[in-house]
Chains A and B, each alone.
Chain A
Amino acid sequence: MKGVIFCEFLEMVEDQHSYDVVDAILVKANFEHKGAYTAIDNYPAEEMMTLIANLEELTNQKPQIILESLGHRLFNFFRRDYPHFFHSDQHPFTFLTHIESYIHVEVKKLYPTAELPTFTTINQTENTLVLKYQSERKLYHLAKGLIEALLKFYKYEGNVQLDVDAINPEICLITIDIL
């Protein structure tokens, strides 16, 4: 997992709480690198799970809420650092249905080792889009946060609903309704 995500996560925890909480979850985690994350390096994804679990223990914050918040913060980071991906006159569904064919293609160019979830369009009407999310990381809540932030950015109001596949937890249907 890219170091930038750890950096953004830790900054978010510091913003929401304080550096004490950041320090606490890092100490508790007791990683060999002592929590010295740099945005341009890569780290095991399990470390993120440990940090979120530590945070939940410390603050009683639900992991899905933490991930959704992280999605929002990451979207803002992306928009700020990679503005050419976001055209102001675009419909959010257009963006979403092109994640695989456009965004992820570009991401792979920059970070060939990046491990990315797959998004498949299951159904699309004028106001509803159903996407299938699949990843062994099961970070669909992170995706939800990102999508909500996207809708907000494009000034659409709507609901994002998750339905995790009962048999395969790596799959989750994301239904986006625009009001």
Chain B
Amino acid sequence: MSNELDILKRRLERETLARKRAEKILDEKSLELYTSNQKLSQLNKDLQTKVQEGIRQQFLKEEEYKQLIENASDIIYKADKTGNFSFVNKTTLHRLGYDEAELIGKNYTELIPESYVDSVRQFYLDCIQNKEKRSYYEFPIRTKAGEIIWLGQNVQIHFTSDEDFYVDAVARDISDRKAAQEQLLKTQKRLSTLIQNLQSAVLLEDENRNIALVNKKFYAFFNIPSNETLLGTSCNNTAGGFKHHFVEEEQFVKRVNELIEKKEVATDEILILKDGRTFSRDFIPIFEDEKYLGSLWQFKDISDKKNAELQIALSEEKYRSIIENMELGLLEVDNNGLIVRAYDTFCKQVGYTAEELIGKDPQKLFLANPNDGELIDKQQSERFQKKTGVYEVQMLTKDKSKLWVLISGAPIINRYGEVEGSLGIHFDITQRKKMEDELAKAKEKAELGRKAEQAFLANMSHEIRTPLNAVIGMVHLLLDTNPSDEQLHYLKSLQHASQILQGLINDILDISKIEAGKLEYTESEIDLHSLIHSLQRTFELKIESKLITVESKVDEKINTLVKSDYILLNQILFNLLGNAEKFTEEGKIGLAARAIEKNHDYYLIEFSVYDTGIGINHDRLTNVFDKFTQANSETSIKYGGTGLGLAITKKIVEFLNGNIKIESEPNKGTTITITLKLSNTNESLNNQKTAISKRLNLEGKQINDILIAEDNQMNINYLNSMLSSYNLNYEFALNGKEAVAKAREKAYDLILMDFQMPEMNGIDATIEIRSTHNLNTETPIIALTAAALVNDKEKAFTVGMDDFLSKPFTPEQLLQKMLLFGNISKKGEETITKENTNNKADRIYPSELDVEYLYDFYEDDYSYFNMMLELFAESTPTEIIDLQKAIEQKNLLEAYTICHRIKPTFPMVGITAISPLLEEFEQNAKDNNSNAYKIYPKLKEALNLWLSKIEKIRKDQG
């Protein structure tokens, strides 16, 4: 029980304790609550004070605002719902020029220019309708003074109920901005008009790739219907949309994206359209202070330009291909001479590629002959003077083969007129050069051949004429031996045949000389009267046997000396007269000279040679001047001749720039007319008779003074020794010039004239003496000639020589010739005449020598032989020493020359046995054949042997 009680006690105690504890807590909470209340009421009190202060502050601010509004620079006003002004600030009054009384109650629309009223009213009606509390609008108003002011107006609408409201407005004068804006608009409009009317298509995209501007051309260029608009659409797909216009579609899109990506200016990009047009595209990104604002695309239609360029390119290509096909190698060099450009053909010519050539110096690269450097430099300097030039050089190609080129160089001149370099056109002339070389060689060969031919002819003339002359001479002698009729007939035939042969040889020699162009023009003064007269005389003498008269006539107008080539003129007339005489059996032949024209400078003279001979058929007349042509074949049988006569004549006439023509009637005769223009010397003719007629009468005259024109020392020696035994004064002239000079100074009784001499030959000297003023115009002249080349004898006569003596001659022969022109006295003896010269010596020739030969040559003129022997002894030993020297020096040419010189002297002294050995040696030496050295010892032995024999003979003869 006590336990139960204890528990109860404890329970009660716990509940009491718990209640007290709870009450205590509640007391504490009450106090806490009370304190909080106290705090709260204090807070409330503070709050009230703050509100009152706030209201006061607010009031002050409103005052400030009011002040602000009054003094603001903006127009500020209030209006009621009808738009009537209820408040305006000072600025409003000031700007609009009204006073307050005038404005308050006035409707705002009254201030707005009529044309703007509706739009402004509508704007604010819309605002009210849509309950838009705040708005901004710009419109003009008119001040009291009538000035228009643009306002930018902020309006706040205060809705006091659904129906009721009033308006606060702040407006600013934006006239200046408006004006600027208008100006800007105008400019923009102008620009846009400009862009619209540009000939190129323009598209402007903004920074977001939206199209901001497209002009009309753009629509036109891309065939976009004008009712479609691109403005505002995005560019992102435009490229794809346009690509179908272009040939390279994907390339177009790719490039557009690339440009947009990079944003770098790209101009003049060429786009080919499928329809054949060509566009040029510019892309210009627009930046302002590094901020990207968009891009401008411009397309220009350059199809025409492109086509023109294409045409130019085609034509350039055409000319280029022409040049290329012409195988002309073009090379351009700069002013330093370095290669700037090398064209295909040139590269092919030299075997280099263009790349290998650029920048190189052609002189170093190509020049085959270093000596040509100077030529190239000279050409180069001429280019600088803007001169062109053509020259040939040999070049080296890459493979070191040689190439001949003809280069035509021209300066390259830029548009400022300065020389920029030069262009060389190279034409390969290797083939031509080769041909030229071959031609030159062929020519040389031909020349050699011709020389050989001439040598042959010269030889032939000598070889044939000597025996022929002998034949002719013998025939003459035989005719005097009282032959029987039969013998006479044979002799006449023989004489005729040999004369034909002689004429033939002369003609052939003449024509070959003419054809070789060897004819030389030697001018001298000529008295035509004298010339023609002497020709007449010559033919009169020549044709004594025929019943023909020879006429001559010279126009009296020809009263001065003329100038021409005497020999040629003489030959022409001589040939023609010869022809006339040949074909004329009876009647006459004649020669006439007529002056067709005469003035101070020249005569135009017509020479006519006529005959009454057989004439020529008309159909033959045209080709009588051709070579080897005679009127008909019978002619040649009957009259002989080569048919060269007229051909030779014509050629000489043409050489003298004259004309020749022929007229003929068969069986009546022929007239050949020659027209020549001859210079007039204006020197009057000497009133002299013809030389020949004077000289004919010389017999009985004493010969004292002789002039001898002779260049050969051996001949001089020979003549010297021969003439010294006579009572003669003789002088030597060593050439024709000297002879002429001496003839001017002294009158001689006789002149001996060698044909071939240096400086001036005997023919020319004779002409000078005969036709110029001197003391010997009539002195007899005897020609001395070694070579009977051409018709030396004829020449001698035609130029006025009086006689002719062929070398070698014996003293007796010379004496006989001289005696034709006068008497000569031997020293201490009686005068020798033609009649008393035949004093023969009965001496015999030494048996060691070729006696037979000596008899043939000297007959019994033993003194002449002796003289020759002396000469031989004087000159030959030194020659033999020289020959020995030449052999020692291995100089076969010199040995040959010496041998050739001395060879003829051996037979002259009767040493004929040595001739074959000399001949053999000479031939080998001439051919530069070493056999000559093998032969020489034998020759030397023979020579020494003969020299000692000659010495012995001379001693024997004392």
Residues of A within 8 A of B (CB): 19-20, 23, 26-27, 33-41
Contacts and interface: CB of A to CB of B under 8 A. Distances in A.
Interface in B1-35: 7, 10-11, 13-19, 21-22, 25-26
A36 B7 contact: no
A27 B13 CA distance: 13
Contacts of A40: 22, 25-26
Nearest to A39: B22
Contacts of B17: 33-34, 36
A73 B11 CA distance: 22
Contact of A38 (B10, B13, B21): B21
B25 A23 contact: no
Contacts of A23: 7, 10-11
A154 B530 CA distance: 180
Contacts of A35: 10, 14
9 contacts: A26-B14, A27-B10, A34-B17, A35-B10, A35-B14, A36-B14, A38-B19, A40-B26, A41-B22
A38 B14 CA distance: 9
Nearest to B23: A38
Contacts of B15: 36
B18 to A, nearest CB: 4
B7 A37 contact: no
B25 A34 contact: no
A24 to B, nearest CB: 9
Interface in B582-629: none
Interface of B: 7, 10-11, 13-19, 21-22, 25-26
A22 to B, nearest CB: 8
Contacts of A34: 10, 13-14, 17
Which of A20, A23, A38, A41 has the most chain B CB atoms closer than 10 A to its own CB?
Answer: A38
A38 B7 contact: no
Contacts of A26: 10, 14
Contact of B21 (A19, A20, A27, A36): A36
List the 4 closest A-B pairs by CB distance, nearest first: A36-B17, A38-B18, A36-B14, A38-B22
A6 to B, nearest CB: 10
Contacts of A38: 18-19, 21-22, 25
Given A19-B11, A33-B21, 15 more contacts: A19-B7, A20-B7, A23-B10, A26-B14, A27-B10, A34-B17, A36-B14, A36-B17, A36-B21, A38-B18, A38-B19, A38-B21, A38-B25, A40-B25, A41-B25
A44 to B, nearest CB: 15
A148 B562 CA distance: 171
A34 B11 CA distance: 10
Nearest to B21: A38
Given A19-B7, A23-B7, A36 B13 contact: yes
A39 B25 CA distance: 11
A20 B25 CA distance: 29
Contact of A41 (B7, B11, B16, B21): B21
Which of B13, B14, B15, B21 has the most chain A CB atoms closer than 10 A to its own CB?
Answer: B14
B11 A37 contact: no
A19 to B, nearest CB: 6
B789 to A, nearest CB: 150
A39 B13 CA distance: 16
A39 B21 CA distance: 10
Contacts of B18: 36-38
Nearest to A36: B17
A26 B15 CA distance: 13
Contacts of B13: 34, 36
Contacts of B7: 19-20, 23
A36 B11 CA distance: 8
A39 B18 CA distance: 9
A106 B21 CA distance: 26
Nearest to A14: B11
Contacts of A41: 21-22, 25
Nearest to B6: A23
Nearest to B19: A38
B856 to A, nearest CB: 168
A152 to B, nearest CB: 31
Contacts of A36: 13-18, 21
Nearest to A23: B7
Contacts of B11: 19, 23
Contacts of B21: 33, 36, 38, 41
A159 B17 CA distance: 42
A35 B13 CA distance: 10
A93 B16 CA distance: 42
A1 B18 CA distance: 16
Nearest to A33: B17
Nearest to B26: A40
A37 B15 CA distance: 8
A41 B26 CA distance: 10
A28 to B, nearest CB: 12
A20 B22 CA distance: 24
Contacts of A20: 7
A37 B16 CA distance: 10
A36 B25 CA distance: 14
A14 to B, nearest CB: 10
A121 B377 CA distance: 107
A21 to B, nearest CB: 10
A71 B26 CA distance: 28
B14 to A, nearest CB: 4
A26 B9 CA distance: 14
Nearest to A22: B11
Which of A20, A26, A36 has the most chain B CB atoms closer than 10 A to its own CB?
Answer: A36
Nearest to B7: A23
A35 B26 CA distance: 20
A42 B91 CA distance: 76
Which of A23, A26, A33 has the most chain B CB atoms closer than 10 A to its own CB?
Answer: A23
A23 B26 CA distance: 27
A64 B71 CA distance: 85
Contacts of B25: 38, 40-41
B206 to A, nearest CB: 52
Which of B16, B18, B21 has the most chain A CB atoms closer than 10 A to its own CB?
Answer: B18
A61 B874 CA distance: 189
A26 B18 CA distance: 14
B176 to A, nearest CB: 63
B20 to A, nearest CB: 8
A41 B17 CA distance: 12
A27 B10 CA distance: 9
Nearest to B25: A40
A38 B26 CA distance: 12
Contacts of A19: 7, 11
B540 to A, nearest CB: 170
A40 B26 CA distance: 9
A37 B17 CA distance: 8
A9 B17 CA distance: 18
Nearest to A18: B7
A41 B20 CA distance: 12
Nearest to B22: A38
A34 B13 CA distance: 9
A37 B13 CA distance: 11
Contacts of B19: 38
B29 to A, nearest CB: 9
Contacts of A39: 22
A117 B15 CA distance: 30
B330 to A, nearest CB: 94
B9 to A, nearest CB: 10
A20 B18 CA distance: 19
A146 B22 CA distance: 27
Nearest to B11: A19
Contacts of B22: 38-41
A172 B254 CA distance: 66
B24 to A, nearest CB: 9
B1 to A, nearest CB: 13
Nearest to B4: A20
A26 B14 CA distance: 10
